[in-house]
């Protein structure tokens, strides 16, 4: 019998190793030293880009087009001081979080249900693909007519964008589960619920995580597009208002905040992926 903790460490090492590297059981210092150096390299790269940007602006490139990191920082400081940054960021984060939660939940439920009920899934599949193919920005005017220009419209536009990504990846994950595993559980007297919880859910988890990971930036896109189309608040509105005043620093400042939000959301999905990897290993035993 193999030790469960050893299996989990080996799985983590395989994730950390590159495609041509040979994963092996490494010490705590080896693993965390690697992570530390990667983090330092990322910080160094960011510093180099910001310094080069600061030097290039005004010397080789007109600041009207790229602004300066110092001007962007000054704009963020001013917005923070007068409350503009906090108010608009909070609204956009609310729209993203609600839209992602609503769209991901509906996509997960729809993906599992329609993948399990195969006939119904096959009937609805071409319609789902057709709806997914519609550019979501084209739905914004229709959503304005239906829901107005308040927070509800941005949340639902964000949710509609996320839903199809999570649904398609979840359904693909469920359908990719080995049929032999399902038959084996049934032969051992497993109930329908046990088949779902012990085989389908763990087996579909890679597809679910992929859908969630892809859905994170699209939740941002849906919310920000809604603010750009019709809004008087939010980070998208700040970008549009800054652009109308040729305030390039304001546009980049709003983009910087959006990037930070995206990074935090992706960090959350990465943590979920690590937990799901361990849960898959436990559930599969």
Predicted local confidence at residue 180, as pLDDT? 78
pLDDT of residue 232: 83
| Residue listed under structure tokens 């619920």 | 193
Q: Which two tokens stand for residue 211?
A: 């859908």
The pLDDT score that the predictor gives to residue 26 is 58
Confidence at residue 4, expressed as pLDDT on a 0 to 100 scale: 43
pLDDT at residue number 280:
54
Q: Which helix (H) or strand (E) holds 90?
A: helix 84-116
B/e letters for 71-91, b = 16+ CB within 10 Å, e = fewer, are: bbeebbeebeeeebbeebbeb
Please list the pLDDT of the chain residue by residue as tens digits (285 residues).
444 444 444 444 544 555 555 455 555 556 667 778 888 888 999 999 999 999 988 888 888 888 889 999 999 999 999 989 999 999 999 999 999 999 999 999 999 898 888 888 889 989 998 888 888 888 888 888 888 888 889 999 999 999 999 999 998 888 888 777 777 777 777 777 777 777 888 888 888 888 888 888 889 888 998 888 888 889 999 999 999 899 999 999 999 999 898 888 878 777 776 776 665 555 455
Model pLDDT, residue 103: 94
Q: Give the position of tokens 């001081």.
A: 81
- Collapsed DSSP state (helix, strand, coil) of residue 84: helix
pTM score: 0.75
Check: CB of residue 66 under 8 Å from CB of residue 251.
no
């Amino acid at each position: 019998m193999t030790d469960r903790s050893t299996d989990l460490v080996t799985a983590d090492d395989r994730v950390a190793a590159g495609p041509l590297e040979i994963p092996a059981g490494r010490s705590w210092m080896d693993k965390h030293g690697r992570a530390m150096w990667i983090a330092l390299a990322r910080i160094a790269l960011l510093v180099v880009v910001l310094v080069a940007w600061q030097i290039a602006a005004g010397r080789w490139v007109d600041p009207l087009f790229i602004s300066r990191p110092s001007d962007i920082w000054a704009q963020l400081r001013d917005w923070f001081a007068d409350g503009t940054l906090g108010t608009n960021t909070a609204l956009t984060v609310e729209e993203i979080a609600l839209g992602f939660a609503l769209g991901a939940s509906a996509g997960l439920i729809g993906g599992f249900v329609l993948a399990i009920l195969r006939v119904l899934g096959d009937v609805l599949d071409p319609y789902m693909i057709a709806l997914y193919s519609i550019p979501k920005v084209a739905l914004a005017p229709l959503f304005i007519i239906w829901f107005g220009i308040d927070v509800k419209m941005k949340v639902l536009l964000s949710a509609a964008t996320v839903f199809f990504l999570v649904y398609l990846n979840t359904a693909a994950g469920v359908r990719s589960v080995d049929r032999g595993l399902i038959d084996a559980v049934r032969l051992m007297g497993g109930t329908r619920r046990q088949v779902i919880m012990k085989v389908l859910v763990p087996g579909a988890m890679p597809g679910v995580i992929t859908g969630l990971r892809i859905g994170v930036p699209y939740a941002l896109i849906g919310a920000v597009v809604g603010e750009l189309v019709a809004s008087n608040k939010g980070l998208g509105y700040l970008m549009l208002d800054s652009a109308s005043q040729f305030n390039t620093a304001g546009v980049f400042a709003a983009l910087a905040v959006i990037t930070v939000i995206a990074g935090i959301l992706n960090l959350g999905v990465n943590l979920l992926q690590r937990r799901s990897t361990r849960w898959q290993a436990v559930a599969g035993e």
